[in-house]
Chain A
């Protein structure tokens, strides 16, 4: 890490291995069952995430109705055969809302993971290769990391109008410094490797070095990091929506459903219960996937956490 600046190092448990070797192949020996036995976390987490993705994609075909259609005449109905998860204060079908809500959460989670990884990759590469920029970039990242991520996202949301796109941007910005620092540390440690040195000495151009030596080595730690970013982004989205700074209330997102149901949690707990379970399970699945990937990709850390 940098010299005497403040210890805003990436949270240790989210930190990537300091010097990953080339991506160790995950062998599919013994078929799917064998894989599942060796990497139970990946198998369980992956299966759950896949299930959520399928639910989100096929929400219209899973016995749902229009999730925004009001029907005040049949409001706050308990879960039943007609309304599997009951109805909310305005008579909207919670089952449909929760299923459609998966779209928002997953969109936010995946987009933030992707965008933060991309932005972090670029910033990390620049600061690792363009020596003079390193100091400036890392000072800025230190500063950004000193702002608690949820507050940074809140501040950004206060400046813009509530929309899914803006939520994604706000959470992404808050997550960029962690990814950049990770990429930079990979770049810096790889630069010291003899074979990279040799490549530089042989006159290989920087883009080629990045493509051949750097990128493949960042894939593993970044994948692990991306899953954690994805999980935390989904929670942050729910929190932002819950306090009224996130997805506009007209869009059914898990955070919004819970925000609306919270007034009634004592009387009609199921309104909060179902989205809470879906959100928790999804985040749990992504976290499991991340833990599993980390263990599989970096055996050295596997024992530790």
Chain B
């Protein structure tokens, strides 16, 4: 178990190096002069020349990559063209809202989606099942900002139940923090809920056909207990896998959600950077999010052994 954990952690290192290499080489694969891209649209020829010097374009690619990676390992993600601030500091300043949003979304989505999937599987082929699955397909098809505006309109403007924008730091109290995140989390979670509900239903359907469920029924175990304890536990692995993979959807969606709900997080930073063509910032954000994604999936991999004792390594 311990050796597996260590091996598993070590195995993420090459993946992360490949991510870094890929993100690094994007700049050189893209058409045009990398120095001009880094310098931004408004740079003078002198600026571009200065940046070309600092990029060291005359030296071998791998050496430049090595140096860049070395900087990143020391927490240096470069400098924003626009604000002249270190990218790492800009990201650090906005990390809390984004992580909060993602965490709340994750919790809300799981709490809603898993029961939905379980019920759909239990009531397979009934109206309830159809309704839940119809919602799931719909959840995939409606873009996140449309959901966001709808929610804001109904719950913030018409009903005036929840705030419509902004972010309150968690240090200012749990409820104010949570209150601000409910609507964005629901909007962001829509696709995610659809995804998890579908996979839960599928996985549950498979498990419910198995012998031990029949045995449990025969023994007179209650329906709720069968569904949520016996069956769900055995259906957990694919669900957890999808939860991990779906984090990529969350990250992409956070960029939009933060714009719609004016949350000053990393997603907003990304959108601002796009319009400013502030490539170093975008590069930093992509790296950071990718590492986050890899980490989440590493954790989930490690979780398997806990969830399913049959999996032994």
A–B in direct contact per CB < 8 Å = yes
Measuring CB to CB, which residues of chain A are less than 8 angstroms from any residue of chain B?
A: 4-9, 11-13, 139-140, 142-144, 146-152, 154-160, 231, 235-236, 238-239, 242-245, 258, 262, 265-266, 269, 272, 276, 279-281, 283-284, 287-288, 291, 303-305
Q: Are A149 and B252 in contact (CB under 8 A)?
A: yes
Q: A158-B282, A244-B274 are in contact. Are A140 and B22 (CB under 8 A)?
A: yes
Closest to A10 in B: B245
Contact between chains at A272 and B146 (CB < 8 Å): yes
Q: Is the CB of B18 within 8 A of A139?
A: yes
Given A9-B245, A151-B286, answer yes or no on A242-B153 (Cβ-Cβ < 8 Å): no
Q: Are A7 and B297 in contact (CB under 8 A)?
A: yes
> Taking the nearest CB of chain B, how far is it from the CB of A142, in angstroms?
5
Contact B244 A7 (CB under 8 A): yes
Is the C-beta of B90 less than 8 angstroms from some C-beta in chain A? no
> With an 8 A cutoff between CB atoms, is B55 at the interface?
no
Please measure, in the bound complex, the distance between the C-alpha atom of A242 and the C-alpha atom of B283, giving whole angstroms.
20
Q: How far is the CA of A4 from the CA of B17 in the complex (A)?
A: 16
Whole-angstrom CA separation of A291 from B294 in the bound complex = 29
- Of chain B, the residue at the smallest CB distance from A158 is B282
Q: Which of B5-13, B60-68, B69-77, B165-173 contacts A (4 or more CB under 8 A)?
A: B5-13
B30 touches A284 (CB 8 A): no
| Residue numbers in A under 8 Å from B157 (CB-CB) | 266
Residue positions of B touching A, CB distance < 8 A: 7-8, 11-12, 14-19, 21-23, 26-27, 30-32, 37, 137-138, 140-146, 149, 153, 157, 195, 198-199, 201-202, 205-206, 238, 241-242, 244-249, 251-253, 255-256, 259-260, 270-271, 273-275, 277, 279, 282-283, 285-286, 289-290, 293-294, 297-298, 300-301
Name the residue in A4, A9, A139 with the highest tally of chain B Cβ atoms < 10 Å from its Cβ: A4
Majority-rule SS of A interface residues: helix
Considering the chains assembled together, what is the distance between the CA atoms of A5 and B18 in angstroms? 12
Contact B202 A304 (CB under 8 A): yes
Asked, given contacts A4-B7, A8-B297, A156-B26, whether A146 binds B290 with beta carbons under 8 Å apart, the answer is yes
Given that A13-B199, A158-B282 are contacting pairs, would A265 and B252 also be in contact in the complex, using a CB cutoff of 8 Å? no
* 7 examples of A-B residue contacts, CB within 8 angstroms: A5-B11, A5-B14, A143-B22, A146-B290, A154-B282, A159-B27, A243-B255
Partner of B274, one of A8, A149, A245, A269: A245
Cα separation A151 to B287 with both chains bound (whole Å): 10
* Residue in A8, A258, A266, A281 whose Cβ sees the most chain B Cβ within 10 Å: A8
CB distance from B160 to the nearest CB of A (A): 14
| Minimum C-beta distance from A268 to chain B (A) | 12
Across the interface, which residues of B come within 8 angstroms of A231, CB to CB? 140-141
By a CB distance below 8 angstroms, the chain A residues around B153 are 265-266, 269
Q: With a CB–CB cut-off of 8 A, which chain A residues contact B277? A: 158
Which of chain B's residues have a CB closer than 8 A to the CB of A158?
Answer: 273-274, 277, 279, 282
Please determine whether A159 and B242 come into contact, CB atoms closer than 8 angstroms: no
Contact between A280 and B146, CB atoms less than 8 A apart: yes
A5 to B8, CA, bound (A): 8
Whether A11 contacts B242 by the Cβ 8 Å rule is yes
A7 touches B242 (CB 8 A): no
A276 to B37, CA, bound (A): 34
A13 to B197, CA, bound (A): 11
Residues on B with C-beta less than 8 A from A243 are 255-256, 259, 270-271, 274
Complex contact B143–A6 (CB within 8 A): no
Q: Which residues of chain A are near B244, meaning CB under 8 Å?
A: 7
CB contacts (< 8 Å) of A13 on chain B: these are: 195, 198-199, 202, 242
Q: Give the Cβ gap from A194 to chain B, nearest Cβ, in Å.
A: 29
Give the Cβ gap from A285 to chain B, nearest Cβ, in Å. Answer: 9
B18/A280 in contact, CB under 8 A:
no
Q: Are B251 and A159 in contact (CB under 8 A)?
A: no
Identity of the chain A residue whose Cβ is nearest the Cβ of B191 in the assembled complex: A235
B199→A7 contact, CB < 8 A? no
The answer to whether B241 touches A12 (Cβ under 8 A) is: yes
Give chain B residues whose Cβ lies under 8 Å from the Cβ of A284: 137-138, 140-141
Closest chain A CB from B225 CB (angstroms)? 24
Contact A154 B255 (CB under 8 A): yes
In the bound complex, how far is the Cα of B299 from the Cα of A41, in angstroms?
A: 37
Distance between Cα atoms of A272 and B11 in the complex (Å): 46
Q: Which residues of A contact B27 (CB under 8 A)?
A: 159
Residue from A12, A139, A143, A148 in contact with B251 in the complex, judged by beta carbons closer than 8 Å: A148
Known: A8-B245, A148-B293. 7 other contacts (CB 8 A): A6-B15, A7-B297, A9-B241, A147-B19, A151-B286, A155-B23, A262-B145
A165 to B17, CA, bound (A): 30
Q: A143: nearest residue on chain B (CB-CB)?
A: B18
Alpha-carbon distance A283/B142, docked complex (angstroms): 8
Contacts of B201 in A (CB 8 A): 305
